[in-house]
Structure 1
Amino acid sequence: MTQLDLFADLAGRTADPEPVPATFAASPKVRATPPPPRHPKHSLSTTAESPAPRRSGRPRPVREPHRRAIEIGEAVAERWHNRHGGTAMEVPIGVVAALCLIKEKDPNGPDLKAQILAQDGAQLIAMLREIWSLHWVHRPDLIDRARILHEWLNDEVDEHRMHAVRAVAQTALQRGLFDLTAHEDPYLRSATDALSPVMTCLRSHGARQGLGEYHTPPPIADAIAEANLGHIAGLGLNLREPKEGYHIHDPCAGSGGMPRSAAQSLRERGKDPAAYQWSMVDIDPIAAACAAVNAIVWALGPRVTVACADSLANPNAVEDAMKEARAAFERRDEVLGKARIIAAIRRTQQLMEQALSPAA
């Protein structure tokens, strides 16, 4: 079941959410659509089916980004299996997730896509490790939640897997991943969920049925989020304007499609999603990992909690995940503290060696 509570008021509270979910009907499966026409770099077209501009004056691109994401997911899955990448679907998803974390700050600068495509397998593996490490410094809680997508990089990557990983990265970039995710503007970066189709296409139909995994199509998620946020387009109904500090919670989040739609709706109202508290829960570790990565990609802000649990069996899943998040920050601070001490010792040793050397 897809559930979403957009109105758990947390005024005066910034630590412990108290979500009270409201249940919606089960969502249908994602269905692939024909591939879209090619567009210039980092362009997101608005089709004739797009709605009129909202309060922000910006129309929401509806069809093109979602269709492109499905095309990327299908191509990545096909390339991974053609290269006999194996059953560890967290590897190709982790590659795409790491690439989603890259932002191109200067569109007029060097072609980042071309630079990555020119890397050999070892260089690409080193880059992926660096991406995850840098983001762990800033958000250890979310990167720890996404551990299943990057822990394979802690081991030595053999030549066969390296070639498969490089093929996945090449396919995702050549199919236009950066057109969806590399924008500096979080509104454009959040136009679609690039990880959901990758995860869906890599997972067998039987596995999805066993997990009860059915991702809400983005247009439906947009409609549900819009209705819950209190403004129904075309009817002019303003029921409840979401106030800063409200808690937006999805206890069956998948990779975060509903929160993405809610964040976009907030931005179209001129509001910053970072001013709200977000929590997402999913029983599937890979889905929860994708939600954690998406929380960074979509710039949901510092007050995001992602739990991997059965929200029906564990009503305290969010609170438990918050404890884990605090522990992750403590570990980060401890590691960085030790790193600074080691760096200071090495620097002192270098200065002493320089002072004692005959040349000095």
Structure 2
Amino acid sequence: MTQLDLFADLADHAAEPEPIPATFAASPRVNVAPPPPQSPEHRQSVTVESPASRPSGRPRPVRDPHRLAVEIGEAVAERWHNRHGGSAIEVPIGVVAALTLIGQKDPGDPDLKAQILAQDGPQMITMLREIWSTQWLHRPDLIDRARILHEWLNDDVDDYRMAAVLAVAETALKRGLFDLTGHADPFLRSATDVLSPVMMCMRSHGARLGLGEFHTPAPLAESIAAVTVSEMVTAAAGFAAQQPSPGDHIHDPAAGSGGLLRAAAQLLRERGHDPATYRWSMVDVDHIAAACAAVNAIVWSLGPHVTVACADSLANPNAVEDAMKEARAVYAHRDEVVGKAQIMATIRQTQHLLEQAHAPAA
């Protein structure tokens, strides 16, 4: 089975993936300096300069991560609406999503949460822009799929919205977001889907009904994943007779923010498998849900072989193949942008050396 490696070095072109059939269908991550893109799965570590910061250890795993995720979602929605943030719910969801993409660089460094909380509005907006930009360099396909969560940052952010953004970030962090997503260990970082309850709480009941949106509770998702993976012998051809094996394709045609695949990835880890060696694909008709799934794929370290499509699986059975074509185009655009940036940097460096060489002696 041809492997899809969409995370090549920036100097190389992305591999040309071939459409593949699904073989397992789950039922219906201030100033950030981009590090060199050399690891197969990148999740940003941030060092922020701030006064009165004290070192702290890594976040500890919480006893009930699903409950904490719901509490964060409820608190974020309440704070956004209390600040009259408006109907653009992609803004607060995007703020939380960006914060899930970063983590403490080193336990001995100044406390990341305290440093972020010490920022003012312009600093917060700058940090959010740089988080998304850095992630785009490493996974342009997923960040492009998540663009609804960050494209508002391309415009000027007025003081009113900036205050609401600050309030959301403060609420999410103080409620314990980094206790869920700040771990270096992807198993701990994947203990729950924090973006699902944020999205659900931001939407009204009527809006969810109109979208036909019913998210699977995390404990139920884990039970479904356990049963399904345990009975892979009855799944479609392509899996080993009794155990899943690297290269197998795990697909959810109505993924929401990816909760069932998170549970499947956790089960694989518990059985000694690395999810990054599998193929993952998710499809959802809702743009925000698909965007959250794309972010979660990075947070949960699903690896380089991930495709997220925004489409109706019933109306378009080729949604995954179409998304793979879009991914190839996005990677080509990324390579072109980076190539031009490298040329410009070389020209500027050459000009600087020439100016130094022709400068009059002191």
Q: Same fold (TM over 0.5)?
A: yes
Query: Alpha-carbon deviation of 1:355?
Result: 1.2
What is the RMSD of the two structures over their aligned residues, measured on CA atoms?
1.8
**Contact (CA 8 Å) 1:105, 1:183: kept in 2 or not?**
no
Deviates more, 1:13-22 or 1:115-124: 13-22
Structure 2 SS opposite 1:333:
helix
Report the Cα offset of residue 108 of structure 1.
3.0
Instruction: Tell me which residue corresponds to 2:294.
Output: 292
Q: Distance in 2 between matches of 1:245 and 1:345?
A: 43
| DSSP-derived class of the 2:104 partner | coil
Inter-partner Cα distance in structure 2 for 1:17 and 1:187: 27
Residues 12/134 of structure 1: CA separation in 2 closer, same or farther (3 Å cut) = closer
Superposition TM-score, scaled by structure 1 size: 0.84
Structure 2 counterpart of 1:285, one-letter code: H
Map 1:328-347; keep pairs closer than 5 Å: 328-347=330-349
Percent identity, aligned pairs only, is: 70
Seen in structure 2, the aligned counterparts of structure 1 residues 262 and 279 have a Cα distance that, compared at 3 Å, is same
1:248 aligned partner: 250
- SS in structure 1 of the partner of residue 193 of structure 2: coil
Q: Distance in 1 between matches of 2:123 and 2:242?
A: 51
**Equivalences for residues 272-291 of structure 1 within 5 A:** 272-291=274-293
Contact 2:62–2:180, Cα closer than 8 Å, also in 1: no
Picking from 259, 264, 281, the partner of 2:266 is 264
Q: Secondary structure at the match of 1:216?
A: coil
TM-score by length of structure 2 reads 0.84
Number of residue equivalences = 314
1:180-207 Cα offsets, whole Å, 9 max, x none, are 0011100000000010000000001000
Q: Which amino acid aligns with 1:90?
A: E
State the Cα distance separating 1:336 from its structure 2 match: 0.2
For residue 44 of structure 1, the aligned residue among 34, 48, 61 is 61
Query: Residue 231 and residue 108 in structure 1: after superposition, are their counterparts in 2 closer, same or farther (change >3 A)?
Result: farther
Distance 1:329 1:309 in 2: 20
Alignment check: 8 A CA contact 1:252 1:281 kept: yes
**2-side partners of 1:358 and 1:303: how far apart?**
55
Partner of 1:128: 128
CA distance in 2 between counterparts of 1:133 and 1:214 reads 31
Please give the secondary structure, in 2, of the residue aligned with 1:103: strand
Give unmatched runs, 5+ long, in structure 1.
1-10, 27-39, 47-63, 233-237
| 1:45-64 correspondence runs (5 A) | 45-46=62-63, 64=64
Letter paired with 1:44: P
Residues 307-322 of structure 1 aligned to structure 2 (within 5 Å): 307-322=309-324
Shift, 1:21, TM fit:
6.4
Q: Deviations over 1:24-52 (max 9, x none)?
A: 4x6xxxxxxxxxxxxx9722244xxxxxx
Q: Note closer, same or farther for the CA distance 1:326–1:75 as it changes in structure 2 (3 Å cut).
A: same
Residue 88 (str. 1) matches residue 88 (str. 2): yes
Pair 1:350 & 2:360 matched: no
1:303 corresponds to which residue? Answer: 305
| 1:54-107 Cα shifts (integer Å, max 9, x gaps) | xxxxxxxxxx10000000000000000011100000000000000000022322
Give me the whole-angstrom Cα distance separating, in 2, the residues matched to 1:120 and 1:45: 29
> In structure 2, how many angstroms separate the alpha carbons of the residues matched to 1:208 and 1:20?
30
AA partner of residue 59 (structure 2)? H
Task: Report the AA paired with residue 276 of structure 1.
Answer: Y
Write out aligned runs for 1:21-32 (5 A): 22=25, 24=27
The C-alpha deviation readout for 1:288-337, integer Å capped at 9, x for no partner, is 00000000000000000000000000000000000000111100000000
In structure 2, how many angstroms separate the alpha carbons of the residues matched to 1:348 and 1:151? 35
Distance in 2 (CA, whole Å) between partners of 1:184 and 1:41 is: 8
Contact 2:23 2:249 in 1 (8 A): no
The one-letter amino acid paired with 1:249 is H
- Please tell me whether the aligned partners of residues 58 and 182 of structure 2 are also in contact (alpha carbons under 8 angstroms): no
Give the CA deviation at 1:22: 4.9
- Aligned AA (1:80): W
The match for 1:52 is: none
Written as runs of structure 1 = structure 2, the 5 A alignment for 1:62-101 is 64-101=64-101
> Using the alignment, how far apart are the partners of 1:231 and 1:279 within structure 2?
20
Change (3 A) 1:183 1:151: same
Letter matched to residue 283 of structure 1: V
The equivalences for 1:164-179 within 5 A come to: 164-179=164-179
Whether contact under 8 Å (1:93, 1:149) holds in the other structure is: yes
Distance 1:326 1:104 in 2: 32
3-state DSSP of counterpart to 2:215: coil
Measured against aligned partners, the alpha-carbon deviations of 1:116-136 in whole angstroms (never above 9, x if no partner) come to 000000000000000000000
The answer as to whether partners of 1:80 and 1:167 remain within 8 angstroms in 2 is yes
Question: Residues of 2 paired with 1:79 and 1:23: CA distance?
Answer: 34
Secondary structure of 1:229 counterpart: helix
